[in-house]
Amino acid sequence: MKDQIKASVLGGSGYSGLELLKILFSHPRVQIDKVFANSSAGKMLHEIQPWFRNRLDVRLEQFSIDLVCSSDVVFVALPSGEAMNIVPQLLDLGKKVVDFGGDFRLKDVSLYETFYNRTHSAGDTLPRAVYGLPEWNRTRIESASLIANPGCYPTSVILPLAPLVKDGLVSSKGITANSLSGVSGAGRSSSAELSFVEVNETVKAYKVGNHQHIPEIKTTLEEISGSSVSITFVPHLIPISRGIYSSMYASITNNITTADLIHSYQKYYSSAPFVRVLDTAVPEIKNVLYSNYIDIGFRLYPENNQIIVFSVIDNLVKGAAGQAVQNMNLLLGYDETEGLL
């Protein structure tokens, strides 16, 4: 274990990339090596994000594989479809890689190609990828070289449901998840539908039935529970900058009680530093903003044979950059919370 490592970031001018750089800047064991942003190459980082002025004197560069030779870890904070062309080269150089996109989250290439609408060109690399959900995959993460950082929506849905489906407290069939996301979840896009006028004072569901995170949620819950899972996932865009609020509805099994639910969450998350189980209290987005926490609450309705589970995360932190650093810490043998508290 090195006391100090060098980290490079591809996609340093996007929302997740900038959030990552803020965390790495304050991380006691990390020196930021290179920052790449092809469309903004040549600019100083503080020109893109004034927060860095007089803090981090870095010029954004055009990516070249030769420029990361001095780095120990490379974060790929690029849109899905780009990492598959870069990650194999990084692994050949012996680098530890954390990928923010969806290119290595699904082991089934055909599933990826169906939901992402593109050909996967790095199928041979998929077996090397470990799904970076630390609360369930800690041991595999610690020995990995490539981490597929989970999506923001899946993080907010999988963590609350996983204990319940694994312990058989809810039916794995007919689960519904409704998620509300701030606009930053769509990335730093200039598209008209993400402009202030279009998103303000309205709520809109999108990609209903074909969102790319559906198979990620389903297959991960199936791997954890060991049983087939059917889930309906509906994402919504809401007029806030950041944060995700997910509400999940499932049928309970047998005559489970609130105490049974609390015991299940404690069993799996009592040692998880970033999972806060509120029991029957209802969580709020404002309580997790700019943090790597997920807050989980639930309400049991035995008269309807139903449970509603709620969760909140900051999509740019626990849903992206913070979870990526959490994974990096495990990869390198550091304390899981280092740089994140």
| Residues annotated as catalytic (active site), given as ranges | 152
Which residue from 131, 168, 175 is spatially nearest to 309, judged by alpha carbons? 175
Cα→Cα distances 141→10, 179, 227, 258, 327, Å: 21, 27, 23, 32, 7
Distance in angstroms between the alpha carbons of the first and the last residue of the chain:
21
Q: Are strands 129-131 and 275-277 parallel, antiparallel or unpaired?
A: unpaired
Which residue is associated with the tokens 């803020």? 22
Both structure tokens of 233: 């996932």
25 burial via Cβ count (<10 Å: 0-12, 13-18, 19+): middle
Both structure tokens of 168: 């058989």
Which residue from 43, 48, 50, 87 is spatially nearest to 68, judged by alpha carbons? 87
Query: Rounded to 10 degrees, what is the CA torsion of 156, 159, 163, 169?
Result: 10
Rg for the chain, CA atoms, rounded: 20
